[in-house]
Structure 1
């Protein structure tokens, strides 16, 4: 069996290779192929990934190529983890909105829309190549942000696709530590949209331990997600860190002004990682990789792939069609929730009804995502403006007008219709 990784030159890739080498021994992976047009990165990341495979004694081949078709040929699983424009584009996403007093972030707000506009056309092109070259019935697992919008683009075109994020597995590990139980003993009820999720319950042996965590560890949980403890207590749920951008927007913008962006920090870290990766004596992922983000990425990816291939029904928080899970959203919207994953795909675990305190925000962001996808697919200034006007973090005509111009000017290289 072959697994293809599109965006295999990423500095994340050694984490993924380590996961398949350590955790995927029973999957029968004959080949893990890294695909990336950036040969300078691939020629460094690929050999390290191969050394990691050998270090763990994995019997499969690890190969790399700049040829998309050759890399996709015969793949049973296609993992997409690409970043169009690299860290330079990310830094732009994190800075241009600040000139209008809005959040600078790469997955939500105006920066998130810019990323969607660059990313959706590339991912859908890759998926079409996979449809022609990969094995019949191949699954596409996308870790590419904005995951919810990207997943919907793939599903709308009829691909067997599922979106993956590491937020839920991070909460599972954190709750397990606080409860002093094994991580696999914690079953979450994770609900919302990608990067707009809440933990509604945390079951251990059939008992919801989340109320206990909130009453006894509210400050610890709040610190973990960058929000006030009083807010976590009032919600009675644990929001993801990304809710900070909504619940504390103005404070975040104040902090961002004049500060080093996350993109700038990552660019420096990537240069250091690539220098380390080039050492032919390095056979394991270096400790510095943990600073890159994407905690538990390999565990999440390997776990999901295992369930898709074996049909073991494992629990995974994934992006999939709403199909009535959240009755206030259209059936074809994409949500993120806990699922049992089988060979046929993810099946949502029942969740408690979402109250209006969450439904309003989820509904507004879902509507924005639909408009964002339309703009990414068809282009045009008016569609970009419409998406920004609908976004809860923008929502004003003057801001939407100004941000539209800023976004297009910063991304003309990637937007054929804007040249």
Structure 2
């Protein structure tokens, strides 16, 4: 940080989420004085970067704050001297998300961008790029924090932790969405609510919910609709399951506990041409149409229809707490280091942390549902195998990862699916084709 203020680099600056982030910096300027925001993207994202960047500049101008917004396609320029680096990128853009969602369905498997085979393909595309970003940071801003919102957030964060020297933290909007749900349900401010999260990114359980110190968990177990997200189909939780777990599962766990129902719904939606990727594509087009309005100088309400609502609130709060050594409690993706005794120390987990200037300190977890430990361990085994596959380009490791994922019922089907998905993603997965290139 210079005397003038902080420099923030946003990787994937042309994202539709960027106005949320800009709004967060404006609202928190008094305690988090941002001097310069650099939005960086790649050549195919130039148009979106320009549109979002101009809106960001209008938002800052309206605020009257001395913040400079820069746009660039030069990542190294953006990273040089940065205090914080935020990532919100999508390697392969929405076209690749469409592959993640539809190819597994052909083989009778869940198609989703962060869970199951589609999530693995997103990880294989994303991890090498994030490690390239980390290597640039080691040279250009070695003391900066890398705050990763790019999915699958837990796997990407774990990879950066393992294969670089950069300080990184993963974050997700799911925990803050849970707090928003509880705040609206009980009509109390979030500050009076306390929850314990335990598990992995998109695979956590809320095992404690208190308002002013009074437990609300038991009564909420009967509210089986629970908190959810726009990008996860809605089915009511089974009451006996929730009572036995004595916890509220992440809405992404419906892919595991209601596998058959969600798979059938996905297959029907794909047949109608209504995948989530196509829905998001339409939302994005509407948003960017709005963003081009020269009279617009604030985040439009329509942005909340995207799956990542509240992201900026979580991201800016984390930056603010790190910068000001606040010591407040936030739910983050960090290295396990003994917190969950049934997982390796280097596993990235999603738990409550006390945020200090030196970094987040995971808090001891009081309760993990016994019945959930096996599922958490199985998914973490898959994740660690998939991370190694992403780094090495090993098809064998990728197949072994899929074979150990609870949502993959057949290794032979998985092998056929993997070959098709790799071929479709060939432009982004060169290391998986190196032997083939050597033969030619």
* TM-score normalised to structure 1 length: 0.96
Query: Which residue in the other structure is 1:287 paired with?
Result: 301
Q: Flag structure 1 segments of 5+ consecutive residues without an equivalent.
A: none
Shift of 1:347: 1.1
Shift of 1:222: 6.8
| Matches of 2:258 and 2:193, distance apart in 1 | 29
Q: Do 1:148 and 1:335's aligned partners in 2 also have CA atoms closer than 8 Å?
A: yes
Query: Which residue in the other structure is 1:150 paired with?
Result: 156
Aligned Cα RMSD in Å? 1.5
Shift of 1:220: 4.0
Instruction: Indicate yes or no: 2:384 matched with 1:370.
Output: yes
- SS class of match (2:365): coil
Instruction: Rate the CA distance shift 1:227–1:407 in 2: closer, same or farther, 3 A.
Output: farther
Query: Which residue in the other structure is 2:206 paired with?
Result: 199
Which of 22, 27, 30 does residue 25 from structure 1 map onto? 30
Q: Do 1:24 and 1:302's aligned partners in 2 also have CA atoms closer than 8 Å?
A: no
Q: Give the alignment of 1:154-233 within 5 angstroms.
A: 154-156=160-162, 157-215=164-222, 218-221=223-226, 226-230=235-239, 231-233=241-243
| Matches of 2:347 and 2:12, distance apart in 1 | 26
Shift of 1:380: 2.4
Q: Do 1:222 and 1:232's aligned partners in 2 also have CA atoms closer than 8 Å?
A: no
Query: Where does structure 1 differ by over 3 angstroms across 4 or more consecutive aligned residues?
Result: 222-227
Q: Give the alignment of 1:11-410 within 5 angstroms.
A: 11-37=16-42, 38-134=45-141, 136-156=142-162, 157-215=164-222, 218-221=223-226, 226-230=235-239, 231-259=241-269, 260-410=274-424
Q: Flag structure 2 segments of 5+ consecutive residues without an equivalent.
A: 1-5, 434-440
Query: Which residue in the other structure is 2:3 paired with?
Result: none
Instruction: Rate the CA distance shift 1:4–1:396 in 2: closer, same or farther, 3 A.
Output: same
Shift of 1:418: 3.6
| Matches of 1:245 and 1:220, distance apart in 2 | 15
Q: Do 1:22 and 1:56's aligned partners in 2 also have CA atoms closer than 8 Å?
A: no
Instruction: Indicate yes or no: 2:10 matched with 1:5.
Output: yes
Shift of 1:401: 1.6
Shift of 1:63: 1.4
Instruction: Rate the CA distance shift 1:54–1:223 in 2: closer, same or farther, 3 A.
Output: closer
| Matches of 1:396 and 1:86, distance apart in 2 | 29
| Matches of 1:349 and 1:223, distance apart in 2 | 25
| Matches of 1:158 and 1:74, distance apart in 2 | 16
**Residue deviations 1:195-243, cap 9 Å, x none?**
101111122233332223324xx13427776442413334221111100
| Matches of 2:265 and 2:307, distance apart in 1 | 20
| Matches of 2:245 and 2:63, distance apart in 1 | 44
Shift of 1:276: 1.4
Instruction: Rate the CA distance shift 1:222–1:130 in 2: closer, same or farther, 3 A.
Output: closer
Instruction: Rate the CA distance shift 1:196–1:29 in 2: closer, same or farther, 3 A.
Output: same
Instruction: Rate the CA distance shift 1:355–1:392 in 2: closer, same or farther, 3 A.
Output: same
- SS class of match (1:144): coil
| Matches of 1:74 and 1:139, distance apart in 2 | 12
- SS class of match (2:197): strand
**Residue deviations 1:115-160, cap 9 Å, x none?**
00000000110111122112x4210000000111100111112210
